[in-house]
Amino acid sequence: MPDPVPQPAPQLPLRVATSCALVPMLLGSLSFFGWLVLTGGKSDEGKAFVMLGAGTLGAGPLLFPVGLGALLIARRRGAQLRAIGVRVALLLGNFPLALLFLMGTDLAAIQRIEVRNHSGEPIEELVLVASRVEKVMASPLGPEARDVWRFKPRSEGVLNFTGRQGDTPVQGDNLCMFFIFDRKDVVLEFTGTGEWSVTEAPGAPWSFLPWR
């Protein structure tokens, strides 16, 4: 009677499935956190990490069915259900992780507007409108006070404001232009009565943080 044909071991397809799960997970984490640490959340820097992240997003969905196929082979070769389940969870975990990283790239779109009052009079009823996003200052801005507004543009657009400086109405239109994923730091400074100026600069690293 001939000897039975030995059943192939499941270790190789299990390793393939593990690689299909961990490679995009590790590369995605490296690209996002590498970009964030290197640039402080700026979209115009860290191109190598951006390209790595884009490549990982493209390769991840391709590796997912490869990993599932490897697990089917491993199961046929006698792999334990626990080993299969762990790797399925790792493969599926890449999808919410990728979504989380994509949401994290919104940091590059956060704009910063700082209002400074050096006029000697309170600024009241101040309303800022930038890229179709409106900010109403809830309380008057006293002399030598400042306030910071951070927002994410809904589209390309300009900065306008209306308000009252003491008894004098103030208004500014088309002060600066905002673009999505082109972060800016803008300073609106009130000086004398009815006088104000606007300065803008490329967004500084980490300027999206609330204490900056």
Highest mean pLDDT among 1-15, 44-58, 85-99, 172-186: 85-99
Domain boundary among 59, 80, 108: 108
Please check the confidence at residue 5 and state whether its pLDDT lies above 60.
Answer: no
Q: What is the average pLDDT across 18-28?
A: 96
Those residues whose C-beta lies under 8 Å from the C-beta of residue 93, and which sit 6 or more positions away, are: 21, 25
Q: How far apart are CA 98 and CA 150, in angstroms?
A: 25
Residues in the chain: 212
Write out pLDDT tens, residues 94-147.
999 999 999 888 888 888 899 999 988 899 989 998 877 878 876 789 989 999
Can you give the residue range of the structural domain that contains 157? 110-202
Backbone φ and ψ of 141, nearest 5°:
-100, 105
Residue 135: other Cβ atoms inside 10 A: 17
Tally of domains in the chain: 2
Q: Is the domain of 100 the same as that of 129?
A: no
Q: Is the domain of 100 the same as that of 116?
A: no
Q: Token match 């059943």: residue? A: 7
Q: Is the domain of 38 the same as that of 89?
A: yes
Q: How far apart are CA 105 and CA 68, in angstroms?
A: 29
- More confident of the two residues 204 and 83: 83
pLDDT band of residue 1 (cuts 50, 70, 90) is very low
Q: Is the domain of 20 the same as that of 52?
A: yes
